[in-house]
Amino acid sequence: MSEWQPRILAILCNWCSYAGADLAGVSRMQYPPSIRVVRVPCSGRVDPLFILKSLQSGFDGVLVSGCHPGDCHYISGNYVARRKFAVLKPLLEFIGVEPGRVQFSWISAGEGDRFAKVVTRITEDVRELGPATRLVKKL
């Protein structure tokens, strides 16, 4: 049987990370086919509820990516997002969700190679953890 391929939700901001993913694609960079992309206007749009909800509905991991600090299209969206994630991540780890499942990164529109690397890394991390069981709704 072929190796288990995790399913990871990638929430990417329209202006940087989504364009970064696009660049990785048009540059024909190789990365694992494990992500499902959701495009959001800004990383500040990402409600922690989206992240928890995707874990609950069976995603094995969640990647949230936005513009580098200082590069936000809306000036300060990613700073606000950073505060949210800075509290969300330790809280999720605190209640016992494995640290590798939910990850954040900054990827600019020019960093196609970085996008490929980040996806490879989170896929490896999640593969090591195995399929998600905690917080998954089984009904």
Q: Residue 73's closest CA among 102, 40, 37?
A: 40
CB neighbourhood size of 109 (10 A): 18
| Binding status of residue 131 toward another protein by CB under 8 A | no
| Binding status of residue 75 toward another protein by CB under 8 A | no
Mark 53-83 as b/e (b = at least 16 C-beta within 10 Å): ebbeeebbbbbbbbbeeeebeeeebbeebbe
Exactly one of 22, 93, 113, 124 binds another protein (CB under 8 A); which one? Answer: 93
Exactly one of 82, 113, 120, 124 binds another protein (CB under 8 A); which one? Answer: 82
Separation of alpha carbons 42 and 49, rounded Å: 16
Q: Residue 122's closest CA among 49, 79, 56, 64?
A: 64
Reading the block at residue 121, the tokens are: 């890394």
- Quick note: the x/- pattern for another protein over 21-50, rule CB under 8 A, is ---------------------------xx-
Exactly one of 7, 45, 53, 73 binds another protein (CB under 8 A); which one? Answer: 53
Exactly one of 46, 109, 116, 118 binds another protein (CB under 8 A); which one? Answer: 118
Residue 93 vs 113, nearer CB to another protein: 93
The stretch among 3-11, 17-25, 27-35, 104-112 that binds another protein (CB under 8 A) is: 104-112
Exactly one of 17, 34, 105, 108 binds another protein (CB under 8 A); which one? Answer: 105
